[in-house]
Amino acid sequence: MAAATEPVIRVRGLVNRFASQVVHDGLDMDVNAREIFGIVGGSGTGKSVLLRTILGLHAPAAGRVELYGREVGAMSRAERSEIVQRFGVTFQNGALIGSLTVAENVQLPLREYRRLDREALDEQSRLCLAMVGLPAAAADKYPSQLSGGMVKRAALARALALEPSLLFLDEPTAGLDPISAAGFDELLLYLHSQLDLTVVMITHDLDTLYRTCGRIGVILDGKMSSGALERIAKNPHPWIQAYFHGPRARATPGGADG
């Protein structure tokens, strides 16, 4: 296991390309233990590709990705299985399986990695759903019967089923109304503090960034500029200025009128 002072995630010299299109060109990134790290960038900058690369779902053209001090691309099958159980992931649209109930969706990682009987599976799924603020009655519903906000919470419950120390969130508040999005932000902050989670979050939501993130990384021209949000927001790069200080940032602390 990596020393406590080492980053939980270390990315060095990452290159991702698709045919002639270079998405990442020497990208570096560090995520420290127990922080909430936000990733932002314009369309086509490869935010989701970066996430897939860190998770080992996409092989980069060059560069190195380490989780807890171990290189993802060099892991054995056994090491891969062990590290997978240390992180949870939610995808942009929840990615719940429509033919399964909410409880069955939450139980999927438990069935794959834990030897539990039916009673234990049901109990664990109930605990996870309660942890994310869903009522007990949600367990027997199907994803199509849930609101958008409930789907996001059910997906989060599934991501927490194996009691991970590292949580990846891909656009967790996308499509939610402001009240539901704020509720999700508060839930994330609560879980982060109670479970000592390290969180990596892709988001375009400025309110979520300001509410939850200690540091952010902005993907620009194939590389990443990272640091405290207030410092990054002062970067003179045109995209950063448009994102943090443009018309849609006016109601946000640090925005054009903030």
Look at residue 95 and tell me whether its pLDDT is greater than 90. no
Number of domains in the chain: 1
Single out the residue of 81, 258, 66, 48 nearest to residue 168, CA to CA: 48
Residue 68 included in any domain: no
Q: Which residue has the tokens 């199907």?
A: 142
As a whole number, mean pLDDT of residues 106-110 equals: 96
Q: Is residue 124 part of a domain?
A: yes
- Residue 134, domain member (yes or no): yes
Query: Would you say residue 21 has pLDDT above 70?
Result: yes
Tell me if 28 is assigned to some domain.
Answer: no
pLDDT tens digit string along 72-90?
A: 989 999 999 999 999 999 9
Q: What is the arithmetic mean of pLDDT over 162-190?
A: 95
Indicate the pTM of the whole model.
0.91
Between 91-100, 111-120, 168-177, the lowest mean confidence (pLDDT) is in 91-100
Break the chain down into helix, strand, coil percent, rounded to 5: 40, 25, 35
Examine the pLDDT at 252 and tell me if it is beyond 50.
Answer: no
- What is the band of 2 on the pLDDT scale with cuts at 50, 70, 90? very low
Q: How far is CA 187 from the centre of its chain?
A: 14
Residue 118 lies in a domain: yes
Q: Which domain holds residue 123?
A: 98-163
The C-alpha angle 34, 53, 171, rounded to 5 degrees, equals: 60
- The answer to whether residue 104 sits within a structural domain is yes
**Any domain includes 127:** yes
What pairing do the DSSP bridges indicate for beta strands 9-18 and 21-31? Answer: antiparallel
Helix (H) or strand (E) holding 98: none
Q: How far is CA 14 from the centre of its chain?
A: 19
pLDDT of residue 1: 43
User: Is the residue at 12 inside a domain?
Assistant: no
Q: Say how far apart CA 223 and CA 46 lie, in whole Å.
A: 10
- Per DSSP bridges, beta strands 215-220 and 36-41 are parallel
Q: Give residue 256's pLDDT.
A: 36
pLDDT in tens, 56-69: 999 999 999 999 99
Percent of the chain residues past pLDDT 90, beyond the cut: 86
* More confident position, 91 or 131: 131
